[in-house]
Structure 1
Amino acid sequence: MANVDEAGLTTYLRTNRAFMAPVVERAVGLLGLKGRHRILDVGTGAGGGLVALARAAGEQARVLGVDRNESALALALRHAQEENVLGQVRTETADLLQVAARASGEDRFDAIWASDVIWPGNVEDPAAAVARLAGALSPDGVLALFTSNYYSSTFLPGHTRLERQLLTASELDWGIPADGPEHYARHVHWMTAAGLHDVRLHVLPRVGFPADADPAVRPYLEKVVWPQLLAGARARGRDAGMTKEDIARAEALLTPGRPEYVVDEPGYYLIHPTLLVTGRR
């Protein structure tokens, strides 16, 4: 998350973790981790995947959480302690490619989990990064790429054109490629190119409806999604085809307390069509 202070980063990570927790747990449950002892969580963040992996694998397993941000890892360790899996995990401040590169022989991993980390904003060459992770697997090891599929989500039902403009402006603001081999939606391509077999794609929707029946929905929208979309609109909205009136309309719809606030519309919902791609060495 660009240009954010430490307190803002902590809020972002915790809020995102709480919202994604149910679908992350479902995704991890599909990996068949029982009997797998050495597990790597790359891009650990606030530790949602770290805890889910430890629980799914059982007490005999050990999970290494890796992230470049020490503050994120501190959050992850606190979360592991709160969820009573601290004895199963350890963390390391490192780049995922460095950790994968040193894995060899008996030091390879039985499973590797990468959640919202293999994309062009984090790694220069996503396909090469996936190949490196695949090479760090033990025989029959499983690689799991999970993505919240943010830019395919429904955040503004009933406001389709404006939603597309806002998402496009956000992509432009983040410098995300519009297409090509490094596009964020090519997880299956990268897994196949890495030579993994039994590649599978799972769609696991995270639905927020009714919005106020789920305590994670409003905080996620108001602390994570709306700030990002509005920042993108202000910075690159014109490049995404937005008029001055479109940007003003977005401000009205995405500002809590305004009469037009979209989450207060009867029938409001959101859908994240999250994706899990798995493959075996």
Structure 2
Amino acid sequence: METAQPATGDTGAAPDVSRKINYLALNREFTAGVMGPAVSALTPERDGPWRVLDAGTGTGGALPELIELARGSGGSVLAVDLDADAAEVARTLAVTLDAGDLAEVRVADLREVVREARASGELFDVIWAADVVWPAAFGDPDAVVAELAGVLAPGGVLGLFTANYYQSMFLPGHSRLERLIRTASELTWGIPSDGPAHYERLGAWMRQAGLEDVRLRVLPVAGPMTDPVVRGYVEQIVWPEMRHAVAARGRAAGMNDDDVARAGELLDPDSPTYAGRDPDGYAVAPMLLWTGTAARRA
């Protein structure tokens, strides 16, 4: 997910984004193992120096790898995020990485950055967007992808990464209930259940934008609940979001009284049947990276 999760027990209908920084930090830890392979797939079909855009950097989840990518080509990174607090964390991270003038972290609207690049002709060789272009953030995600593709230099690469939250497994052994909770969460976020703006259509948006060599890579993250990183992410991010979704839209998703009660038992840390007490609990997140390349000019 792209934003922080509601506090435990929150029954409001809308998602609560008050803990965004905490969410982003935990998400960075959970996804850290796949950032290297993901960013290494973003190799432009042109010589350096490469100009890299980290679109929606958050707290800098992929910034270390993007900085190294740019450094190796003699290029630079522009990391942007609309959230000033998140951008400040990313800026501090860049300093610890001794990025110097190589990396700039800016508080800015992604579409405004794209308009500036188009107007100036300063195109990007690599654009990275992780859990940014989706219908809860943009009502027209396909148009956003087209705008990003439009500021790629010839042979440049666009990478759209997603943690694939709604196809992950966080309540193993309770698949039917987890499907219902997932539907409740989708309703809470107000995202479409299908159609051209559905969050799983990243590859289609790339093709529609005219990108070539569109590819999908699966980058799985899996681990037992005994792993502190997995446990921290699931207990502080996933299960609180699930509890909120059940309270807010569970019945609209088709959950009956028994379903709601059972979800409460599994997701309540004070319950004797809390999922976190299961010694065999685990999480599986089949994360995805879509890449597409801008055509070379004749």
TM-score tier (shorter): over 0.9
Q: TM-score scaled by structure 1?
A: 0.93
Summarize the Cα distance change of 1:135–1:239 in structure 2 as closer, same or farther, 3 Å threshold.
Answer: same
Aligned partner of 1:17 in structure 2 is 28
Residues 55 and 85, structure 1, Cα contact 8 Å, conserved in 2? no
> What secondary structure does 1:180 align onto?
coil
2:9 aligned partner: none
Q: 1:188 aligns with which of 192, 200, 203?
A: 203
Structure 1 residues 224-235: aligned runs within 5 Å: 224-235=237-248
SS at match of 2:258: helix
What is the deviation of 1:46? 0.9
Question: Offset at 1:136?
Answer: 0.5
Task: Give the corresponding residue for 2:6.
Answer: none
Q: Which runs of 4+ in 1 moved over 4 A?
A: none
Instruction: Decide which of 280, 284, 293 is 1:267's aligned counterpart.
Output: 280
Question: How does 1:102-181 map onto structure 2 within 5 Å?
Answer: 102-104=116-118, 106-181=121-196
Determine the C-alpha separation between the residues in 2 that align with 1:129 and 1:166. 29
What do you get for the CA RMSD once the two structures are aligned?
1.7
Q: Which residue of 1 aligns with 2:256?
A: 243
Could you tell me the percent identity over the aligned residues?
48
- 1:25: how far off? 2.3
Higher share in helix: 1
Give the superposition deviation at 1:36: 4.6
The 10-residue stretch of structure 1 (30-39 or 246-255) with the greater mean CA deviation from structure 2: 30-39
Structure 2: how far apart are the matches of 1:271 and 1:189? 25
| 1:86 Cα offset (Å) | 4.9
Shift in Å, 1:140 = 0.3
Cα distance between partner residues in 2 of 1:36 and 1:85:
15
Between the aligned partners of 1:149 and 1:36, the Cα distance in structure 2 is: 32
81, 85, 93: which one pairs with 1:67? 81
Q: Is the 8 A contact 1:27 1:276 kept in 2?
A: yes
Unaligned runs of 5+ in 2: 4-14
Matched residues, number? 277
- The offset of 1:4, in angstroms, is 3.1
**Which has the bigger relative contact order, CA under 8 A and spacing at least 6?**
2
Superposed, which structure 2 residues align to 1:29-44 within 5 Å? Answer: 29-32=40-43, 35-44=48-57
Q: Distance in 1 between matches of 2:117 and 2:278?
A: 51
5+ residue gaps, structure 1? none
AA at the equivalent of 2:31: M
Measured against aligned partners, the alpha-carbon deviations of 1:125-155 in whole angstroms (never above 9, x if no partner) come to 1111101000100110000000111001111
Q: Is contact 1:147–1:275 with CA below 8 Å preserved after alignment?
A: yes
What is the Cα deviation at residue 10 of structure 1? 1.7
Instruction: Report the Cα offset of residue 35 of structure 1.
Output: 3.4
